[in-house]
Structure 1
Amino acid sequence: MIPPSSAALSDSPSGGRHRKLKPLNRTVRRTLVAVVLTPVAGAVMAGQSAFAADQSAASRESVNRLDPAEQKLVDNLNARAQDKNIGTTFSGVVLDAESDRVIWGHDAKTALMPASNTKLATATGALTLLGPDHRFTTNVVYGDGTLTLVGGGDRTLTTADVAELAESAAAGLRSTGLDTVKVRIDDSLFPEPTLAEGWNSSYYDDQIAPVRSLVVDGKLVQDTAIDAGKVFAKQLAGQGIGVTGEVTRGQAASTDFPVAAHQSAELSVIVKQMLKTSNNDTAETLLRMTGLASGRKATYEGGTAAVRDVLTGWYGVSLANFEIHDGSGLSRANRISAQTVAEILDLTTDPRHSDILKSLTDGLPVAGEAGSTLGPEWGRFDTANSECAVGQVKAKTGTLTGAIALSGITQGKDGRWKVFSFIENNSTADSGAIKDSLDGLAATVNGCWA
């Protein structure tokens, strides 16, 4: 397989269009509350779909406006979307990025289980309300003989970071003549973890950890905060500070004195990493922090409400039948249509939103990119029909039992940028075969599988 080429994806689509006049400034983003606008009506489906029993006059008019290249694309998608591997429960759409015109669609407004395509909505909400340069801070404070490690929602905190915190804290203790201390953790920023609707307890310690505001090395353990406290205590001991008793949980006092702090990388970097590897834990942490940024509680309900408000209230994304209960897409109760996913991705092609959403585009895995969810280690874009799209397609994957999705952007052979979303549910085919078929549809949109 040839290595991914960045050249084909280096130039962003352009064009002054879309649903809002100007991006929010930072102050407005951080104070955004529920603003519900009438959802923008979806564009009329184009293409004489083999799936459609009939076709409206508006749709026929749209078909007449297809150029020869688009008509060939429509014909190919109509034929290839009937692949038995995809099954019959399928929502798909292709947009022209510059004009927002729908080129092709099949049940595009039918909301299905989107799996990890949910993360696109989560990332959009987080980047908009928190800002791409936002950093999460982990603090250490001292009071009454106790050092408290205070979680700030940094899912990327590492043992090396905690070691630096311990070194700074130890130096401060020694300067006051102290060489022993108690250790406590404060993870009160997030309410007690609960299962999101559509989850089950088997997810824990396998696909995700209970969502807490303090975690080290991304460990999938039941109590990531206490685990982090133990790591901190061990690092203190390595600095010659004795730790008495067990690590406990409690809130830091307002009178406690700050002794050390660590800031995460910028949110834009974290979002890129989350999307490349489809990290569930990071997505859930970002959802909680997005809820806080909107003035709500750091709960599933607060976070998902904030995401809805961002999508429809600011960007005007159609949320017909849109339903999410988490940030990662693990919930089997989530429902999003291909039309909505495509509209979210379409925002990233508008230069007026690039300062906020650029990391969403940058974080999309590239077909054939090792280390991402579209890498060769996952068997993606490696068939005779799809391997031509290696390096030419950027897309977010989604996989649950009974749900596989692929949504992204690509520059067609006609030189125009296209946004696509394909979501299938309930196919009885092997998951690898389903993914191969969706990769083939993406290659069709790119035009390399002509």
Structure 2
Amino acid sequence: MKPSTSPAGTRPAPGRLRGIVALLLQTLLVVAVALPAGVVIAPAFLGPDRPSKASQETPPWQQVPATLSAPGTGPGGLGPLAGTAPVPVGAALAARLNGTLKTDGGGTFTGIVQDAATGQVLFNRAADQARVPASNMKLLTASAALRVLGPDRRFSTRVVAGPTPGSVVLTGGGDVLLGAGESDPGAVLGRAGLATLARATVRALKDGAGGTGAGTGTIRVLLDDSLFSGPPLSPAWSPEDVAAGEMAPLYPLALNSARFDPAKTTGPRPQDAAMTAAATFAARLTDAAKAAGLSVAPGVARIAPGASPEPASAKVLAEVQSATVGEQVDLMLRTSDNYLAEVMGRMTARGTGRPGSGKDAIAAVLQQVRDMGVPTGALRAADVSGLALANQVSARQLTDVVRAMASGTDTRLRAALAGFPVAGLTGTLEDRYTDAASAAGAGLVRAKTGTLNTVIALSGYVVDADGRLLVFSFVGNGLTPGSANKAALDRSAAVLAGCGCH
């Protein structure tokens, strides 16, 4: 695609945008997440003090940067934005959105746009109507996990001394992003590696740790995946979706978010992700043990519930830790991984003292949403990933959650902001915002996508042309499958990015 410009001649079209991805994205991330703790409304999201004619030109914060932003410059490292930018006039904004937010075929769109600082509603189309939200449900799960677990929490995968001499127990602690090789401190997927865990286990055994009796003999590997309770699959999920790999039975440890290959994020998943991880660990342990003059018995046995040593008394032989909850939430939102979302929901339930079933995950997430001040009277949840068609959430509830993340008082929620896909650049929005009608939003709109057969949704935030932070949610239900309705959402979000509607 050859370079071109927008009608105003001042903005890069999609071809040019892809040439400056790294530069622009780093600048956007600094603006999005460098928020001062304790500030009720993030300074960068309130807009600059600019004359009204500014909307006729491309403002500095929407231009391609000449240099990388330097963290720590300005109040909280956020540059020139202030709280006096003009708020869009609702009628002017609605006139534009009514021209773009149209279905292609059957179904309807609901939607809402709010000023993030004040909560003022600038556009409302049946925003309180409960609808199937698809993966926008993950916004609720993300906020609940950050509130309960905290953005800095990590999950541990441990090997403990087993109940019989010579046995060791691989114990799942909620990390389903394990890697098969060495731990990678710079990664989220693969931050904890089973090869590293295996080598550490052999060292402990050679040193005689735990009195396992395996320091000079044969090691027997057991698996404890009892952290979660209840059925590993929800009856609310379509068997066809499970077979296609949208979901798999849930366990508290897995490789690659229950994928066979970390490079392939589609297609069928392992149906026993915990045992798959345990078999990989046993293979790595066999390699490490051989070099140390030890041997590993073939096969892995799943330990009976209650047969594993009590956590308080179990001798830990080795341990690896996951990426932080904040990093995992970012990955969950960026890639829209259903499996990771459901595990995060169950870990949130465990964090509140619940047993950790699918129902517990739903209860824990909804309780946190209520505690955030979001009314949940008409909200119905059948899962916490958004795969179930029985979920019912309104566009207003979704924007309430996004607004809490962007400008609420609970600064733990700020950790989710960087995980929102960036239009035309990252995650599930990487290949969108590439046509002339939506290019104005490329690099500027940050939003969580949602897609089911007859459902699409887009909820997120954007700083408009006048420097005002807007939060929005557009939800389509009953749509004609295979139609171009995603383009309608992208055009509508692009309207917000380019709006000088005051």
Indicate whether the TM-score tops 0.5: yes
- 1:327 and 2:384 matched: yes
**Deviation per residue, 1:331-361 (Å, 9 max, x gap):** 111111100000000002226323x012211
Deviation for aligned residue 1:267: 0.7
Q: Is the 8 A contact 2:454 2:477 kept in 1?
A: yes
Amino acid at match of 2:323: A
Structure 2 residue aligned with 1:242, among 295, 318, 333?
295
Amino acid at match of 2:247: I
Amino acid at match of 1:237: T
1:31-180 to 2 correspondences below 5 Å: 69-81=89-101, 83-85=102-104, 87-143=106-162, 144=164, 145-160=166-181, 161-176=193-208, 177-180=215-218
Report the Cα distance in structure 1 between the residues aligned to 2:387 and 2:321, rounded to whole angstroms.
28
Deviation for aligned residue 1:197: 4.1
Deviation for aligned residue 1:367: 0.3
- 1:438 and 2:492 matched: no
Report the Cα distance in structure 1 between the residues aligned to 2:338 and 2:217, rounded to whole angstroms.
40
1:16-415 to 2 correspondences below 5 Å: 16=40, 69-81=89-101, 83-85=102-104, 87-143=106-162, 144=164, 145-160=166-181, 161-176=193-208, 177-205=215-243, 206-218=245-257, 219=259, 220-239=269-288, 240=290, 241-250=294-303, 251-254=307-310, 256-313=314-371, 315-350=372-407, 352-354=409-411, 356-370=412-426, 372-376=427-431, 380-415=432-467
Q: Partner of 2:397: helix, strand, or coil?
A: helix
Aligned-residue sequence identity (percent) comes to: 36
Give the 3 Å change call, closer, same or farther, for CA 98–9 of structure 1 in structure 2.
Answer: farther
Deviation for aligned residue 1:262: 0.8
Q: Is the 8 A contact 2:233 2:250 kept in 1?
A: no
Give the 3 Å change call, closer, same or farther, for CA 449–116 of structure 1 in structure 2.
Answer: farther
Deviation for aligned residue 1:449: 10
Report the Cα distance in structure 2 between the residues aligned to 1:74 and 1:274, rounded to whole angstroms.
32
Deviation for aligned residue 1:226: 1.1
More displaced 10-residue stretch of structure 1: 223-232 or 85-94:
85-94
Report the Cα distance in structure 1 between the residues aligned to 2:286 and 2:41, rounded to whole angstroms.
58
Q: Is the 8 A contact 2:112 2:125 kept in 1?
A: yes
Report the Cα distance in structure 1 between the residues aligned to 2:159 and 2:413, rounded to whole angstroms.
32
Amino acid at match of 2:275: I
Report the Cα distance in structure 1 between the residues aligned to 2:447 and 2:270, rounded to whole angstroms.
30
Report the Cα distance in structure 1 between the residues aligned to 2:460 and 2:443, rounded to whole angstroms.
13
Report the Cα distance in structure 1 between the residues aligned to 2:220 and 2:29, rounded to whole angstroms.
53
Report the Cα distance in structure 2 between the residues aligned to 1:245 and 1:11, rounded to whole angstroms.
53
Q: Is the 8 A contact 1:118 1:327 kept in 2?
A: yes
Report the Cα distance in structure 2 between the residues aligned to 1:438 and 1:185, rounded to whole angstroms.
46
**Deviation per residue, 1:38-67 (Å, 9 max, x gap):** xxxxxxxxxxxxxxxxxxxxxxxxxxxx97
Give the 3 Å change call, closer, same or farther, for CA 299–67 of structure 1 in structure 2.
Answer: closer
Report the Cα distance in structure 2 between the residues aligned to 1:420 and 1:236, rounded to whole angstroms.
50
Give the 3 Å change call, closer, same or farther, for CA 324–298 of structure 1 in structure 2.
Answer: same
**Deviation per residue, 1:200-221 (Å, 9 max, x gap):** 2233351122110121222221
Amino acid at match of 2:373: G
Q: Partner of 2:31: helix, strand, or coil?
A: coil
**Deviation per residue, 1:133-173 (Å, 9 max, x gap):** 10001110113221110000101111121111110111222
Report the Cα distance in structure 2 between the residues aligned to 1:223 and 1:67, rounded to whole angstroms.
52
Q: Partner of 1:104: helix, strand, or coil?
A: strand
Report the Cα distance in structure 1 between the residues aligned to 2:40 and 2:146, rounded to whole angstroms.
21
Deviation for aligned residue 1:384: 1.5
**Deviation per residue, 1:99-139 (Å, 9 max, x gap):** 10111111101111111000000010000001111000111
What residue ranges of structure 2 are gaps of 5+ in the alignment?
Answer: 1-13, 43-85, 182-192, 209-214, 260-268
Report the Cα distance in structure 2 between the residues aligned to 1:292 and 1:68, rounded to whole angstroms.
43
Q: Partner of 2:255: helix, strand, or coil?
A: coil
**Deviation per residue, 1:342-401 (Å, 9 max, x gap):** 0000002226323x012211100000114x10002xxx1122110121111000000111
Amino acid at match of 2:309: A
What residue ranges of structure 1 are gaps of 5+ in the alignment?
Answer: 19-65
**Deviation per residue, 1:299-322 (Å, 9 max, x gap):** 111111111111112x10121311
Report the Cα distance in structure 1 between the residues aligned to 2:281 and 2:196, rounded to whole angstroms.
10
Q: Partner of 2:299: helix, strand, or coil?
A: coil
Report the Cα distance in structure 1 between the residues aligned to 2:341 and 2:110, rounded to whole angstroms.
24
Q: Is the 8 A contact 1:9 1:411 kept in 2?
A: no
Report the Cα distance in structure 1 between the residues aligned to 2:314 and 2:466, rounded to whole angstroms.
63
Amino acid at match of 2:171: V
**Corresponding residue pairs, total:** 395
* Corresponding position of 2:211: none
Report the Cα distance in structure 2 between the residues aligned to 1:165 and 1:302, rounded to whole angstroms.
30
Report the Cα distance in structure 2 between the residues aligned to 1:257 and 1:100, rounded to whole angstroms.
52
Amino acid at match of 1:215: A
Give the 3 Å change call, closer, same or farther, for CA 87–342 of structure 1 in structure 2.
Answer: farther
Report the Cα distance in structure 1 between the residues aligned to 2:481 and 2:173, rounded to whole angstroms.
43
Give the 3 Å change call, closer, same or farther, for CA 86–395 of structure 1 in structure 2.
Answer: farther
* Corresponding position of 2:263: none
Amino acid at match of 2:417: T
Deviation for aligned residue 1:429: 5.2
Q: Is the 8 A contact 1:338 1:421 kept in 2?
A: yes
- 1:423 and 2:475 matched: yes
Q: Is the 8 A contact 1:87 1:424 kept in 2?
A: no
**Deviation per residue, 1:417-447 (Å, 9 max, x gap):** 100000101111524x111111011011222
Q: Is the 8 A contact 1:385 1:449 kept in 2?
A: no
